[in-house]
Amino acid sequence: MTTIIEYFKILTTIPHCSKEADRLMEYLAHFGKERGYEVEIDSAKNILISKGRPELCLQAHYDMVCMGKAPQIETYEEEGWLKAKDSSLGADNGMAIAMMMVLMEEGRELEFLLTSDEEIGLIGANALSFALQSKYMLNLDSEEEAEVYIGCAGGADIVATKPYAAFRDARPAYRVSVSGLPGGHSGVDIDKGIPNALKILAGYLDDKKIGLVSLEGGERRNSIPAKATAVVKSDTVLQGNEIVQVEAIESSEAILYGGDEIIALMKGFRHGVQAMNEAFKIPERSINLAIVSTTGGICRIETSARAMSAGGLAHISDETVQFFESYGYTVKIEDKYPSWKPEVNRFTEIVYESVKAVFGESRMMAIHAGLECGVISQKYPAMQLASIGPTIRYPHSTREKVGIDSVEKSFSALKRVIEAVS
C-alpha cells in the first residue's frame, strides 16, 4: 500500500502551478478511473471523482502557488517536517489530494471534488455546477491540525471615482510620503492594529493649508496599505515627523480643484473593524481603505469590505456606497463573494468530535477571509460543510512545511468522519 507521504511525493513530480495544472488534472482523472471511479471534468477544469451512493464529499484544490524553483520540487525531511529545497512545497493543498488517493486505493464510496485555480481567486469553486449527491462536504484546505473551520467571511470590493478639474497654483511644492509600514492581509490582519499609510497621510494633510497636486497609495485591494505619497503646494513650510517624510520639490503642476475633499473623505473613511464576532473573537464586519490614486485628474478609491453574514455584507456595502455618494462619487461594487455563516450543525459536531478523539482537543473556528467553502455553501445550500487539514506553516513561500505526524493524525480524524457519516 502506498502511503500518503509517498503519494504526495509523486504529486510533487507533476507540475500544478495555478493555471498550469493540466498534467495533474489528467493524472488524477486517470488515477480515479483506474480504480473504478466515475470521473467528470467541467469547463473550469474542476474534477469530480465518485463511486456508489456517497454521503460525504471530500474537497480540495489541486493548483498550488509556485514560488522559487517550483514546479521543480525537491522534498526533504527535517525535525518532523516535510519541506522543499528553494521552492514552495505544495502541501497546500497537495497533501489533501494524497489523502484522497489513499482513500481511492481503498475503494471508498465517496465523492472527491478537486477544484481548479483556488489560489488565484477561487476560480474553480466559482464555476462549479456538478450535481453533487453528498449531504456533507469536508474541505481539507485548513492549516492547523486540531482546528475545525465552520465559517468564513464574504466580501465585496467597493470602488469609487470622481473627476477633479486642474487649477494653476504657483506656491512651493512638497512631496509628502508615508512608507515602510508593515502592511498585512485586509481580512485576517484587519484587527491587529496595523497602521494604514493612506489614513496617516490624510491625517497629516487634513489640518494644513495646502493644494493637492496628486495622491497615490496602497498596493493591493486585499492588503493594508504600507505606503502612500502626495504632492502638495503650500505657502507654509511643511515639516515631517517620525512617520511622515516631507521633501521640498520643484513642480509647475496644477492642483486639483476641490482636492481638499479627497483628504477629508480619506480622513472620514471608517477603515478597519466595524463590529466584532464575540463567539469566535474575530471581526464580524470590516473594511480596508486599500488604494487611492488621482491619475489623469480622476480620483479613484478602492476598498474591500468583509462580513461574516450576507446581511452584514449588505449593511457595510450600503453604508460605504452612501458615504462615497455623499461626496458626489460614482460607486461600483466588484468581485463580490459569499460568506459561509458560522453555525454548529450535525456535521460540524461529527467533525469536531472526530478531531477531538484523535488530538485530545479541538476548537471550532471561523475566519475573517474568503474560503472556497463560502462559494460552495452558497451553491449547495442544503449541504453541511466543515474544513480541517494538517498543520502547514508558511504556505505560498519557499519556507512552506507540513508536519509529518500531523498528516497521519489528520488522516485518522478524516477516517473517523467517514465512519461516522456512512
**Site for Zn ion, rule CB under 5 A:** 92-93, 141
Q: Rounded to the nearest whole angstrom, what is the least distance from the CB of residue 396 to Zn ion in the complex?
A: 8
Burial (CB count <10 Å: 0-12, 13-18, 19+), residue 59: buried
> Each residue of 290-311: b (16+ CB within 10 Å) or e?
bbbbbeeeebebbbbbbbbbee
Q: Which is nearer to Zn ion, 92 or 284 (CB)?
A: 92
Nearest-angstrom CA–CA distance, 255 and 271: 26
For residue 126, give the 3-state DSSP assignment: helix
Q: Rounded to the nearest whole angstrom, what is the least distance from the CB of residue 400 to Zn ion in the complex?
A: 11
Q: Which is nearer to Zn ion, 93 or 177 (CB)?
A: 93
Q: Rounded to the nearest whole angstrom, what is the least distance from the CB of residue 356 to Zn ion in the complex?
A: 24
Q: Which is nearer to Zn ion, 141 or 169 (CB)?
A: 141
Q: Which is nearer to Zn ion, 99 or 292 (CB)?
A: 99
Q: Which is nearer to Zn ion, 96 or 256 (CB)?
A: 96
Residue whose entry in the numeric block shows the C-alpha cell 462619487: 329
Q: Which is nearer to Zn ion, 93 or 234 (CB)?
A: 93
Q: Which helix (H) or strand (E) holds 248?
A: strand 244-249
* CB-nearest residue to Zn ion: 92
Whether 101 and 31 have beta carbons less than 8 Å apart is answered as yes
Q: Which is nearer to Zn ion, 87 or 93 (CB)?
A: 93
For residue 354, give the 3-state DSSP assignment: helix
Q: Rounded to the nearest whole angstrom, what is the least distance from the CB of residue 220 to Zn ion in the complex?
A: 18
Q: Rounded to the nearest whole angstrom, what is the least distance from the CB of residue 92 to Zn ion in the complex?
A: 4
404-421 vs 346-359: helix crossing angle, rounded to 10: 140
Q: Rounded to the nearest 5°, which phi and psi values hold at 202?
A: -65, -40
Closest by Cα among 94, 92, 74 to 84: 74
Q: Rounded to the nearest whole angstrom, what is the least distance from the CB of residue 416 to Zn ion in the complex?
A: 23
Please count the helices (runs of H) and the strands (runs of E) in the chain: 10, 23
Q: Rounded to the nearest whole angstrom, what is the least distance from the CB of residue 402 to Zn ion in the complex?
A: 12
